[in-house]
């Protein structure tokens, strides 16, 4: 074919396409005349055109969600209204579009598994680079389980592309009401939002797109943060159509963001400032007619002072807003926590002193008397239950102050300044993480020098004083002797001299407490300090609390990773998992700050080991977050991440994906990590079919033979126990777990085995034994300060008593504490039990509200049947059913694969007015057959077999 | 000259792109082999683990190359367009070369296929013979070079119609027509 012919063919072809089909023949007659060749070509093209379909239409790509499958590589899947409803991942039915974020559209959807509404976001296809950015943000959102942030339930890939399933938040954009010009009206919601932002920043995440549309205020006036950092990915990757996608709505962007610089936490604060300003005054701090003018104004003009618009605004509010809206980030508050103090109008130091004075005033004894450790507890906010916050805070405080009121006030003040605690009404709130840091000796609050006390102490004494300052609070004389390389007698002499000079105080246990700073530090350069810290580190045995801090301060970076690993490992084996985490985090962040990546992989491996030992969603999310942030991505970290993802998915998503994920991971070279891989595999199999579980178990048993390791044998026993449990052979399960508990040496593993044993005993209708085991577990967990395990053990003990028929009183404290753990499964179980207890006690209102809360928890995890059971309980306690709901639920209950649960549902629904039908007989018969008569009076989740309805003839 | 050859290459690419934007047509010739090398290297890298949800395709590679080279900085959009257009062509060449066996990589000992194999397979699954397509495009290129550019950008670069219009500096309607005609003609030719 030549060029000329082609050109003419093309021209005619296109003309024909434009013309009505009937006219084509005459068109060709006119244009071609006698040129048969031309006509033939055009006709062939037209023929071909009818069949071209989607040939070449979309470039292919391979998506590795399931190995071996290929997707059709769709572009941004924004579904048109005609395409709805559409089911995603076989589970979420998208019904209506509710918004378009910077990175994809959001839909109202129904979770077909739990029948509850969720929000589903569909994301456009993206490059691996963008995907890894997104991954980071996703793990950030998973990490943020506590209130104030929309929960992320599920994420994955289906043929539409990537999707995220999130909590559906119903509410109005911040502040949820029109501006009234009164600070009182917006204060609570603004502070709540700032608290949430502070929490988010604490885990190192920046939102980058704060605006009213991303903060919905629910009916209770609580703000919930949405669209979490997802638009952040787009802010970095340029969108191919030339615009900078997802820059954030300019109206709420900080000036530096508008200039294209990378936003950080202070940019979030600016955006918050704009929102708060607007909430109060009804308009923003800059006014302009259009977006461009607004951007201009934001970049060049100072913000309007709030007092110009709201003259009555309290001065501290006006000041804080002005600070938040400072064009230069350096002029803004340094952190959300600081901003909170400012906005609250607090002056933290005054607060601490006032508190202490108040507490002191409450004591009959003469003022100036010391506080005991117990006294100090009332200074702190709880809960003590499961978290032991007050008692531990009081102990740390006492350790550092001996109970002297003036020093207590000073120390508390220092804690608040350092961000370890914050004012919470009339108490100081110190969270678990801060307590662990205080206990681990990492956060050393330095003594404040008293002016003018640098009397001439003598060189040796000055040096000793320097050691005391550095090593505090581990300043036992023996240690000081080692540090200064002197004889113990000599040390005693010098300490006496220092004490006489008022430079130190001796504690009852012999430790020396510094009261002034040593002149050695005057003008001491960094090098000198580093050298001193180095010597302290050298004098401490590896793994000693505090050594890590000194190594870091000494700049001995190559020792940081091994120390962190050793110390954390030792802590973890003893069950002190929170402390272990703190040590690892310190080590990791030190390494990252110094940009030395080598120790990171080893550290992360240890962290994985510990997180997988603990196996709670929180711990797993945390390590996954750290893994996703590592600069040195490599084969090892990728596989660790996959391992942790597989573990995480067991807590939240459908079964199959967990096992497939776990099995897709290649064996590790590191034997410890590989053992974990096997363990994760076996755990994942629990959520698959029984056949799969048996297959995996057989496979692992073969592998375990080659290992000859007590811990592995224990794991196997535990896994067999879990399989038995699943097969409803509860007695056998209990025995296997008992064996596992004996074999395990590491405390967290023992705890897990004990708890599983108690669970099995419970299901085997042996509540008294279950209670004993649960109590043993609880005591152990309390010693380890492990809120989640302690919570589970407490619940088991209480459930055991309930099942044995005890009349129990409500335990509101427990419910409150469990909420703080952030584990939905546990929360659901506790609320359900407490609901049953309330119901038995006749408190129907409490029973209903607790049942509803449990229902919400189960729904969030996707446990459909547990959700149903809770609803049945609520109805039995007098909840108002929807039209035909009771009969409908009864119908569904008969198809529940867990007979006992099904029977309980039916029993409860009877009390809500359901009429037994023959369809129920199967279920009821089966339960009566499989449960021994002797156990018919023992309760199950709520009801006992003897309380079930009889079969219908 | 730094110690890092990849960095040097990136600098050269940027420099050449600048020249291209300023109207130097020879810059394209120099650029193409560099971009080819870049993409080829990326495509050769073995995939690590079986990363779930990992999207791989010609378009993804092109995107990734772009991001990697320019680190997402605010590039002159014309430079970027040129780069992407050339990358699309380079991608076509890479795939065809691989299919023709010129650069057939040995299977790694673990038996895992390298990305290019996977990508080629994904084309086969859609009944597209890359070699035949390339031959057809060669032929078409002798008669209508613009049409071929449209195909490269759409199919190997993964650009949307309006993006193609911008890059080639023609109207959207023209792109649509060209694309329609091209697909028809190619299908006919490859039958």
pLDDT digits (tens, 9 = 90+) for A896-946: 988 999 999 999 999 999 888 888 998 999 999 989 999 999 999 999 999
Last residue of a domain, one of A391, A410, A439: A439
The verdict on A138 and A205 lying in the same domain is no
- CB contact, 8 Å: B116 with chain A? no
Give, for all 191 residues of chain B, the pLDDT tens digit.
Answer: 445 566 666 667 767 766 766 666 666 666 666 676 666 666 555 333 333 334 455 656 666 666 655 554 445 556 667 777 777 887 787 778 777 764 444 433 334 455 566 667 777 777 788 888 999 999 999 999 999 999 988 887 777 787 788 888 888 889 989 999 999 999 999 88
Residue A610 Cα, gap to closest chain B Cα (Å) = 23
What are the phi and psi torsion angles at B57 (to 5°)?
-175, 175
| CB contact B84 to A (< 8 Å) | yes
Residues of B in contact with A130 (CB under 8 A): 63, 67
Count of helices and strands (H, E) across chain B: 9, 1
Residue from A443, A421, A425 nearest A337 by CA: A421
Q: Are residues A909 and A892 in the same domain?
A: yes
> Does B112 reach chain A within 8 Å, measured CB to CB?
no
Tens digits of residue pLDDT in A71-123: 222 234 456 666 778 888 778 888 887 765 545 678 888 887 767 788 888 87
Q: What is the pLDDT of residues A549-577, one digit of tens each?
A: 788 878 887 888 889 999 898 888 888 88
- Among the three residues B126, B149, B178, which one is the final residue of a domain in this structure? B126
CA A495 to chain CA mean position, Å: 48
Which of A353-367, A589-603, A610-624, A767-781 shows the lowest mean pLDDT across its residues? A353-367
Closest-approach residue (CA) in chain B for A259: B74
Q: Are residues B76 and B166 in the same domain?
A: no
Q: Given A3, A240, A661, which is nearest B52 (Cβ)? A: A661
Residue A788: give its domain's CATH number.
1.25.40.10
Question: Are the beta carbons of B53 and A156 separated by less than 8 Å?
Answer: yes
Residues A158, A176 share a domain: no
Question: Of A609, A601, A602, which is closest to residue A630 (Cα–Cα)?
Answer: A601
Q: Do B49 and A635 touch (CB under 8 A)?
A: yes
Whole-number pLDDT of residue A731:
93
Residues of chain A with C-beta less than 8 angstroms from the C-beta of B122: 60-62, 70
Helix (H) or strand (E) holding A158: strand A152-158
B47, B57, B69, best to mutate vs chain A, most A CBs in 10 Å: B57
Do residues A478 and A540 touch, judged by C-beta distance below 8 A?
no
Determine which of A192-201, A204-213, A614-623, B106-115 has the lowest per-residue pLDDT on average. Answer: B106-115
| B23 and B74 fall within a common domain | yes
A157–B51 CB contact, under 8 Å:
no
Q: Is B146 on the interface with A (CB under 8 A)?
A: no
Alpha helices in A288-347 (DSSP H): 291-300, 306-309, 315-324, 336-344
Q: Which residue of A has its CA nearest to B79?
A: A242
Mutate one of A16, A56, A632, A653 to test the B interface: name it (highest B CB count within 10 A): A56
Output DSSP code: residue A99: E
Shared domain for B91 and B156, answered yes or no, is: no
* Domain harbouring B184, CATH code: 1.10.10.10
Long-range contacts of A548-555 (CB under 8 A, 24+ apart): A548/A440, A548/A442, A548/A583, A548/A586, A548/A587, A549/A441, A549/A442, A549/A444, A549/A586, A550/A470, A552/A586, A552/A590, A553/A529, A554/A530, A555/A530
Look at strands A427-430 and A421-424 and give their pairing. antiparallel
Provide the CATH number for the domain around residue A535: 1.10.10
Are B109 and B168 contained in the same domain?
Answer: no
Residue of chain A with shortest Cα separation from B124: A60
* CB atoms B72 and A237 under 8 Å: yes
More confident residue, A219 or A358: A219
In chain A, whose CA is at the least distance from the CA of B128? A56
Are the beta carbons of A298 and A250 closer than 8 angstroms?
Answer: yes
What's the confidence (pLDDT) of residue A440?
67
* 3-state class (DSSP) for residue A408: helix
Residues A195, A329, single domain; the answer is: yes
- Is residue A185 domain-shared with residue A161, that is, in the same domain? no
Tell me how far apart the alpha carbons of residues B68 and B62 are, in angstroms, rounded to a whole number: 10
Q: pLDDT: is A730 or A133 the higher one? A: A730
Contact A131 B54 (CB under 8 A): yes
Q: Which domain holds residue B136?
A: 128-191
CB under 8 A, 24+ apart: contacts of B101-106: B103/B40, B105/B44
CB contacts of B189 in chain A (<8 Å) are none
Contact list in B for residue A239 (CB cut-off 8 A) is none
**A854 Cα to chain B: minimum distance (Å):** 33
Domain count, chain B: 2
Q: Decide if B121 touches A, using CB distance below 8 A.
A: yes
Q: Looking at the structure, do residues B141 and B113 belong to the same domain, yes or no? A: no
Pairwise CA distance, residues B54 & A63, whole Å:
6
Task: Judge: A241–B162 Cβ closer than 8 Å, yes or no.
Answer: yes
- Which residue from B65, B68, B64 is spatially nearest to B55, judged by alpha carbons? B64
Closest Cβ opposite residue A52 in set B126, B155, B183: B183
Does one domain contain both B43 and B134?
no
Per the CB < 8 Å rule, is A73 touching B59?
yes
Regarding whether B66 and B30 lie in a shared domain, the answer is yes
Residues A89 and A143 in one domain: yes
pLDDT band with cut points at 50, 70 and 90 for residue A766: very high
A418: domain range?
A: 370-439
Interface A–B counts its CB contacts (< 8 A) at: 161
Same domain for A820 and A785: no
Q: Judge: A7–B72 Cβ closer than 8 Å, yes or no.
A: no
Distance CA A449, CA B160 (A): 68
Domain boundary among B80, B110, B126: B126
Give A125's contacts in chain B (Cβ within 8 Å): 55, 60
For residues A193 and A277, membership in a common domain is answered with: yes
Q: What angle do CA B133, B136, B141 make, to 5 degrees?
A: 120
Residues B52 and B116 in one domain: yes
Contact B67 A127 (CB under 8 A): yes
pLDDT of A827 strictly over 80: yes
Distance from the Cα of B70 to chain A's closest Cα (Å) equals 10
pLDDT at A233: 32
From chain B, the residues in CB contact with A57 under 8 A are 183
| CB interface of B with A, residues 18-57, below 8 Å | 47-57
Same domain, A231 and A326: yes
Query: To which H or E segment does residue B30 belong?
Result: helix B26-44
Contacts of B166 in chain A (CB under 8 A): 242
Q: Kindly report the nearest CA distance between residue A126 and chain B, in angstroms.
A: 7
B52 to A132, A156, A360, B45: CA distances (angstroms):
12, 9, 60, 17
Contact A70 B185 (CB under 8 A): no
What local confidence, expressed as pLDDT, does residue A803 receive? Answer: 95
Within an 8 Å CB–CB cutoff, is residue B71 touching chain A? no
- Within this chain, do residues B56 and B149 fall inside the same structural domain, yes or no? no
Q: In terms of domains, do B34 and B91 share one?
A: yes
* B52-65 per-position pLDDT tens digit: 334 455 656 666 66
Looking at chain B, which residue has its C-alpha nearest residue A243?
Answer: B77
Task: Answer yes or no: do B17 and B99 share one domain.
Answer: yes
Q: Across the interface, do A52 and B154 touch by the CB < 8 Å criterion?
A: no
B 170-189: CB under 8 A from A: 177, 180-181, 183-188
Q: Which residues of B are less than 8 Å from A639 in CB distance? A: 49
Nearest Cβ partner of B67 from A1, A57, A129? Answer: A129
Q: Is A116 helix (H, G, I), strand (E, B) or coil?
A: strand
Contact A56 B64 (CB under 8 A): no
Model confidence at A406, in pLDDT bands (50, 70, 90)? confident
Are A60 and B126 in contact (CB < 8 Å)? yes
Do A802 and A817 lie in one domain? The reply is no
On chain B, the residues whose CB falls within 8 A of the CB of A75 are 158, 160
Confirm whether A626 is domain-assigned. no
Among the partner-chain residues B52, B144, B154, the one whose CB lies closest to the CB of A6 is B144
Tell me, yes or no, whether A384 and A304 share the same domain: no
Of the partner residues A14, A55, A64, the one whose CB lies closest to the CB of residue B177 = A14
What are the E-state strand segments in A829-903?
none
B107 in the same domain as B31: yes
Our count of domains for chain A comes to 7
Whether A43 and A119 map to the same domain: the answer is no
Residues of A in contact with B125 (CB under 8 A): 60, 70
The residue ranking higher by pLDDT, A319 or A858, is A319
pLDDT > 90: what percent of chain A?
22
Q: Which residues of A touch B142 (CB under 8 A)?
A: 3
- Domain stop point among B95, B126, B157: B126
Residues ≥6 apart with Cβ < 8 Å to A517: A446, A447, A449, A469
* Average pLDDT across chain A, whole number: 80
Residues from chain A that touch B159, judged by Cβ atoms under 8 A, are 240
């Amino acid at each position: 074919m030549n060029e000329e012919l082609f050109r003419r063919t093309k021209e005619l072809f296109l003309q024909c396409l434009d013309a009505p089909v009937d006219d084509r023949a005459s068109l060709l007659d006119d244009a071609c005349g006698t040129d048969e060749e031309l006509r033939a070509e055009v006709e062939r093209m037209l023929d071909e055109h009818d069949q071209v379909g989607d040939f070449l239409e979309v470039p292919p790509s391979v998506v590795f969600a399931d190995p071996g499958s290929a997707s059709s590589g769709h572009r941004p899947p924004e579904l048109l209204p005609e395409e709805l409803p559409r089911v995603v991942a076989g589970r979420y039915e998208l019904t209506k579009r509710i918004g378009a974020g910077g990175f994809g559209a959001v839909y109202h959807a129904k979770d077909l598994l739990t029948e509850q509404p969720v929000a589903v976001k569909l994301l456009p296809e993206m490059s691996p680079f963008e995907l890894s950015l997104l991954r980071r943000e996703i793990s950030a959102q998973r990490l943020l389980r506590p209130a104030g942030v929309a929960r992320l339930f599920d994420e994955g890939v289906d043929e539409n592309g990537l999707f995220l399933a999130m909590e559906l938040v119903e509410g109005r954009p911040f502040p949820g009401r029109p501006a009234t010009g009164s600070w009182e009206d917006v204060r609570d919601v603004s502070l709540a939002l700032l608290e949430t932002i502070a929490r988010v920043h604490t885990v190192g995440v920046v939102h980058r797109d704060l605006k009213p549309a991303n903060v919905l205020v629910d009916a209770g006036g609580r703000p919930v943060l949405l669209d979490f950092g997802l638009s952040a990915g787009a802010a970095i990757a340029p969108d191919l159509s030339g615009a900078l996608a997802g820059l954030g709505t300019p109206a709420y962007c900080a000036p530096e963001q508008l200039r294209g610089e990378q936003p950080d936490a202070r940019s979030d604060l600016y955006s918050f400032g704009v929102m708060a300003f607007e909430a109060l005054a009804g308009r923003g701090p800059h006014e302009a007619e259009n977006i461009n003018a607004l951007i201009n104004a934001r970049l060049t003009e100072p913000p309007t002072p709030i007092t110009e618009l709201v003259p009555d605004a309290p001065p501290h509010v006006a000041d804080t807003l002005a600070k938040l809206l400072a064009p230069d980030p350096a002029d803004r508050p340094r952190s959300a926590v600081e901003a909170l103090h400012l906005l609250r109008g607090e002056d933290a130091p005054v607060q601490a002193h006032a508190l202490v004075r108040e507490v002191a005033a409450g004591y009959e004894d003469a003022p100036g008397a010391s506080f005991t450790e117990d006294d100090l507890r009332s200074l702190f906010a709880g809960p003590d239950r499961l978290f032991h916050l007050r008692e531990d805070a009081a102990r740390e405080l006492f350790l550092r102050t001996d109970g002297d009121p003036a020093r207590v006030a000073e120390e508390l003040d220092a804690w608040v300044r350092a961000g370890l605690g914050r004012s919470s009404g009339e108490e100081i709130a110190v969270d678990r993480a801060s307590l662990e840091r205080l206990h681990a000796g990492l956060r050393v609050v330095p003594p404040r020098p008293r002016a003018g006390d640098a009397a001439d102490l003598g060189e040796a004494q000055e040096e000793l004083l320097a050691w005391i300052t550095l090593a505090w609070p581990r300043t036992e004389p023996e240690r000081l002797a080692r540090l200064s390389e002197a004889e113990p007698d000599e040390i005693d002499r010098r300490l006496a001299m220092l004490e006489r000079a008022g430079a130190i105080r001796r504690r009852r246990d012999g430790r020396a407490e510094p009261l002034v700073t040593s002149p050695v530090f005057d003008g001491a350069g960094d090098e000198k300090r580093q050298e001193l810290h180095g010597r302290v580190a050298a004098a401490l045995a590896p793994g000693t609390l505090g050594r890590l801090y000194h190594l870091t301060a000494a700049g001995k970076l190559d020792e940081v990773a091994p120390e962190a690993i050793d110390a954390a490992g030792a802590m973890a084996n003893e069950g002190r998992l929170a402390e272990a985490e703190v040590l690892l985090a310190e080590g990791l962040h030190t390494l990252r700050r110094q940009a030395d990546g080598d120790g990171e992989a080893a550290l992360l491996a240890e962290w994985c080991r510990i997180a997988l030992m603990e196996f709670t969603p929180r711990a797993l999310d945390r390590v996954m977050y750290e893994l996703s942030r590592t600069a040195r991505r490599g084969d090892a970290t990728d596989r660790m991440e996959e391992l942790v993802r597989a573990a995480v998915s067991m807590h939240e998503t459908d079964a199959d994906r967990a096992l497939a994920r776990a099995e897709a991971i290649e064996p590790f070279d590191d034997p410890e990590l590989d053992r974990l891989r096997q363990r994760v595999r076996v755990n994942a199999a629990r959520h698959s079919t029984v056949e799969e579980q048996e297959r995996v178990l057989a496979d692992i048993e073969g592998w375990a033979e080659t290992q000859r390791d007590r811990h592995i044998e224990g794991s196997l026993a535990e896994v067999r126990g879990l399989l038995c449990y699943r097969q409803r052979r509860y007695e056998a399960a209990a025995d296997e777990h008992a064996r596992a508990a004996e074999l395990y040496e590491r405390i967290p593993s023992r705890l897990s085995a004990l708890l599983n044993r108690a669970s099995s005993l419970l299901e085997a209708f042996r509540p008294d034994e279950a209670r004993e085991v649960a109590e043993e577990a609880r005591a152990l967990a309390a010693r380890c300060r492990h809120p989640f395990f302690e919570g589970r053990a407490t619940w088991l003990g209480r459930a055991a008593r309930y099942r044995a028929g005890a009349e129990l009183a409500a335990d509101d404290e427990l419910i409150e504490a469990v909420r703080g753990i952030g584990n939905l499964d546990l929360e659901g179980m506790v609320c359900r039990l407490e609901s049953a207890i309330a119901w038995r006690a006749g408190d129907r209102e409490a029973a209903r509200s607790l049942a509803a809360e449990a229902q919400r928890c189960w729904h969030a995890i996707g446990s459909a049947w547990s959700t149903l059971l809770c609803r049945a309980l609520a109805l039995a306690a007098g909840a108002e059913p929807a039209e035909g709901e009771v009969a409908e639920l009864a119908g569904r209950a008969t198809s529940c694969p867990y007979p006992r649960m099904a029977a309980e549902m039916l029993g409860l629904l009877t009390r809500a007015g359901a009429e037994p039908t023959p369809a129920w007989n199967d279920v009821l018969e089966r339960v009566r057959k499989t449960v021994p008569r002797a156990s018919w009076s023992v309760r199950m989740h709520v009801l006992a077999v003897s309380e079930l309805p009889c079969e219908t003839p | 000259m730094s110690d890092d050859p990849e960095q040097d290459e990136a600098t050269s690419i940027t420099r050449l792109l600048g020249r291209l934007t300023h109207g130097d047509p020879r810059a394209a010739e120099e650029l193409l082999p560099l971009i080819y090398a870049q993409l080829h290297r990326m495509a050769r890298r073995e995939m690590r683990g079986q990363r779930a949800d990992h999207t791989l395709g010609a378009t993804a590679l092109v995107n990734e190359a772009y991001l990697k080279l320019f680190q997402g900085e605010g590039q002159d959009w014309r430079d970027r367009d040129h780069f992407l257009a050339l990358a699309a062509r380079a991608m076509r060449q890479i795939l065809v070369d691989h299919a023709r066996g010129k650069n057939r990589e040995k299977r790694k000992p673990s038996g895992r296929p390298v990305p290019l194999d996977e990508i080629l397979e994904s084309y086969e699954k859609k009944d597209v013979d890359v070699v035949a397509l390339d031959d057809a495009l060669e032929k078409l290129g002798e008669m209508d070079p613009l049409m071929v550019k449209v195909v490269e950008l759409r199919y190997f670069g993964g650009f949307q119609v309006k993006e193609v219009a911008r890059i080639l500096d023609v109207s959207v309607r023209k792109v649509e027509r060209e694309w329609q005609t091209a697909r028809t003609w190619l299908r006919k030719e490859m039958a």
